[in-house]
Amino acid sequence: MIKTPYLLFLGDAPDGLAAKVAQGIKDWRPENCVGQFRMEGCKADLGLTDMTLAEAKEAGAKTLVVGVANRGGKISQAWKKVLVMALEEGFDLASGLHNLLRDEPDLVAVAEATGRALHDVRVPEVEYPIADGVKRSGKRVLGVGTDCSVGKMYTGLALDKSMRAMEMKSTFRATGQTGILITGDGVPLDAVVADFMAGSIEWLTPDNDPDHWDVIEGQGSLFHVSFSGVTLALIHGGQPDALILCHEPTRTHMRGLPGYDLPSLEALRDMALPLARIANPACVVAGISINTQHMGEAEAVAYLEALEDRMGLPAVDPYRHGADRLAEALAAL
């Protein structure tokens, strides 16, 4: 569990895209963000108050979150200077970089001396159990995709936001590094050892109020041969009551797999639902989330309307039009 609120470290980001993790935190959990820390030459700007470490500390920030990709595959000495000073000022550090904070002897030594925590969210910090398959109380919804990177995290966050706005009980359950940094907690599923994958998701989504929804962040795709096992562990560990089908209509082949076509949404439904019903016979497909970022507004609206007719399910782009109709579909279950 990463202590909030955060000071977002944007480093010397060459552009806004390099700081997309920080952008995600600011978009979805603005209440967790006290301000931003930018180094000389930083080209990213989240529109948050620029703060020194001391100012952020004074404003209540507990953790400095590395919200920016590093360059050249190493943590530069210029960054290190800030990170060490942050530890000395009393901040914990959190990062999703491939280069782990814990692999830097100077950071480890200063963190030990100052009693601060280093959170590498790519690495599990918990010994997860083996899944026992026992039914848990409360409701769960999971996004499953025709492919990787079609907007499953975004769908989950938007759905959680809509559900809260409708005064439904909802918790977004992060299963990837960006989601973990956004919410401060979760399971880095792609880094969990095979035998414990499903168990880690049971651990993440425990018994809850009967009318509470865990919105579980999806990963991979049953149709993506590199990561399909991760997806199935998520389905069987999560025991979802409802699936949201996620799709990006302009993709020409599976991400990173040029020889592989994307499945249809019907094929996804017909593969995912029987698998989900092994763990939860009551599971249904509740709606469809379409990433229309490469379509014009008229084209997107026409596509979604035709899809609703074809599949008999609410179909929305949560970025363009919000996720309220998906939340309503869950409320109606």
Where on the chain is the footprint of its own copies (CB under 8 A)?
A: 130-135, 189-195, 197-199, 222-223, 225-234, 236-237, 239, 254, 256-257, 259-260, 271, 274-275, 278-279
| Smallest distance from its own copies to CB 245, Å | 17
Distance CA 87, CA 95 (A): 14
Nearer to its own copies, 37 or 196 (CB): 196
257 bridge partner residues: 254
Nearer to its own copies, 220 or 314 (CB): 220
CA dist list (Å): 196 to 89, 130, 233: 37, 5, 9
CB of 178 to its own copies, least distance (A): 15
Task: Tell me how far, at minimum, the Cβ of 257 lies from its own copies, in Å.
Answer: 5
Whether residue 232 contacts residue 272, with contact meaning beta carbons closer than 8 Å, is answered with no
CB atoms within 10 A of CB 193: 9
Q: Which is nearer to its own copies, 278 or 282 (CB)?
A: 278
What is the DSSP code (8-state) at residue 146? Answer: S
Q: Which one, 187 or 323, has the nearer CB to its own copies? A: 187
Instruction: Indicate the residue among 90 and 229 with the shorter CB distance to its own copies.
Output: 229
Residue 209: CB minimum distance to its own copies, A: 22
Least CB distance to its own copies at residue 219 (A): 9
What is the C-alpha separation between 3 and 124, in angstroms, rounded?
17
- Least separation, in Å, of the C-beta of 278 and its own copies? 6
- Tell me whether residue 19 or residue 180 sits nearer to its own copies (CB atom): 180
Cα separation of 301 and 316, whole Å? Answer: 9
Nearer to its own copies, 134 or 298 (CB): 134
Q: Shortest distance, CB of residue 166 to its own copies, whole angstroms?
A: 31
Rg (the chain; Cα; Å) = 20
Is 201 or 295 the residue whose CB approaches its own copies more closely? 201
Give the burial class of 100: count Cβ atoms within 10 A of its Cβ; 0-12 exposed, 13-18 middle, 19 or more buried.
middle
The Cα–Cα gap between 168 and 324 comes to: 12
Distance (Å) of CA 47 to CA 3, 36, 79, 95: 22, 8, 21, 21
Residues with Cβ within 8 Å of 302's Cβ and at least 6 positions away in sequence, in order, are none
> 144: which strand partners?
245
CB of 139 to its own copies, least distance (A): 18
Degrees, nearest 5: CA angle 221-66-107: 120
Q: Which two tokens stand for residue 154?
A: 């975004």
- Alpha-carbon distance of 251 to 235, in angstroms, equals 24
